[in-house]
Structure formats: structure tokens, C-alpha cells
Amino acid sequence: MKVTILGSGTSQGVPIITCDCEVCRSKDAKDKRLRTSILIESDESVICIDAGPDFRQQMLNAGVKKLDAILITHEHKDHLGGLDDARPLIFVQQKPMTVYASKSAQEEIKREYSYAFADDNERYPGTPVFDLIEITDDLIKIKDLVIEPIKLKHFTLTSYAFRIGNFAYVTDLSEFSEEAFNKLQGIEYLIIEALRKKEHYSHINLSQAIEIAQRLNVKKAWFTHVSHEMGKAADVNPTLPSNMMLAYDGLEIEF
């Protein structure tokens, strides 16, 4: 299985419009961050987690020609704001795009993309067609992938982490419950958010992410959903435990 980091940034991305901080002015490609998303490729399947406003560019950057499904962690704009750009894949594959999302995320998708859910006789030609499937506590099976959804608290919202075998993707959480810890026992590879060094009311920070990775005793951890407040990758990475690093756009990981 191969995981590609399509985006490793926060809701505003990095650099941020109008910002002149040293991170936003950095020439290092590892400090250029599109909105958070990953691509997962197995022997039989190609899926992505989240489709934010940079989805089009991310699909082009990764050379994606087919996509079996999109999993949505939660309903914030930076995680579903690019779903309309799934249209070329829908047209080429000649079938609706399968989108797994919670009930509340589906409500937001239907509101944001109301034109995609119009009656057939009222549908504007060329609009996307989605097959929405509700995420529950049940396993998600997509061809050869078996995916376990894990509930997270993201301030007042529910966000979902996803486990596939010995790998887990965990983003947009404000606390890490014992239930989530128990469900992630035994993983070896972890991608987890680390917004910045300072604490935040709706996201975990770097020290909290490190603590979770150490508690899970993973072989390797990568930190995503990184803001410009974290600092430059070249400065931060040397300060991290040897088996941990900041994720960056375009990073490919094989398990």
C-alpha cells in the first residue's frame, strides 16, 4: 500500500494570503502546504481522504487517473470544498463518485452542492453525481481495503480517523479519547495532525501529537495539518524524535 500526502496544511494553506512571516516567505518546498488530504493506493483500490479546495491541483500533482472513493473526515470547508472537482473522474469512470461521510457531513455536502442532488429532470448538464454512504462504526470495505472509522472530538464536531491494518490517519481533533487509543493499538505507522507548538482549542498541537505517537509506540509518525505558526520544516524536524517528522506535500510512504 502506498500513501501520498496530497496536502499537509491547515484551512488557509501555507503560505497564507497577506502573510510575510518567514515560513510563508520560505523557498523550501516542504514549507508549501495545500489543504490536508492523502491518497491511498493498494493493489486494487485508489481512494483519498478529504477533498478540500485544493483537490483539483492535488489530483493533477499526483497524476490520479481513477478514484474509487472519497472519505470525508468531517464537514469543514477545507475538507470537502473541492468535491465538485471530482467531475472529470466521474465522467471518465461513467459512474457516481462514492463519498463516505457522516450524517452531518452529508448534510453540508447536500447544502454546498445542492445542484448535484437535483431531480434528474432538473439537473443541469455536467454537474457531478455522488453516491453518499454514511460513515458509522461499521468497517468500510472498498475492494481490497478494509477501513475502520474511529470517532474523534473536534471541538463541537465529530471528526473521523481511519485505520487500515497497521496504518492510521488522524486529523482534526481536540482530544484523544481512550476509545480511540484502544482502537489504534497495534498500529506501526501514523499520520496525525499537529497544528502548531502552542495549544489550540479545536486542534492538538505538536507536543500532544508526539505524546500520542509515543503512547501508541509507532515505528514512524508524520505530522500533518501544519500551520505557518509551526515554523520552518528545516528548523522543526531536527528537534523531533528520530522516528517522527513533519509531513510535506508530495511525500510518498509505502507500507
Question: Tell me: the pLDDT tens digits for 25-39?
Answer: 999 999 999 999 999
Report the CATH number at residue 144.
3.60.15.10
Domain count, the chain: 1
Distances (CA, A) of 186 to 18, 38, 149, 193: 43, 21, 16, 19
Residue 124: pLDDT band with limits 50, 70, 90: confident
Containing structural domain, residue 91? 2-254
What average pLDDT does the chain have? 97
d(CA 102, CA 154): 14
Question: Tell me: the pLDDT tens digits for 152-192?
Answer: 999 999 999 999 999 999 999 999 999 999 999 999 999 99
CA dihedral 83, 84, 89, 90 (to 10 degrees): 100
Question: Tell me: the pLDDT tens digits for 85-98?
Answer: 999 999 999 999 99
Cβ 150 vs Cβ 160: under 8 Å: yes
Asked whether the whole model's pTM tops 0.85, one would answer yes
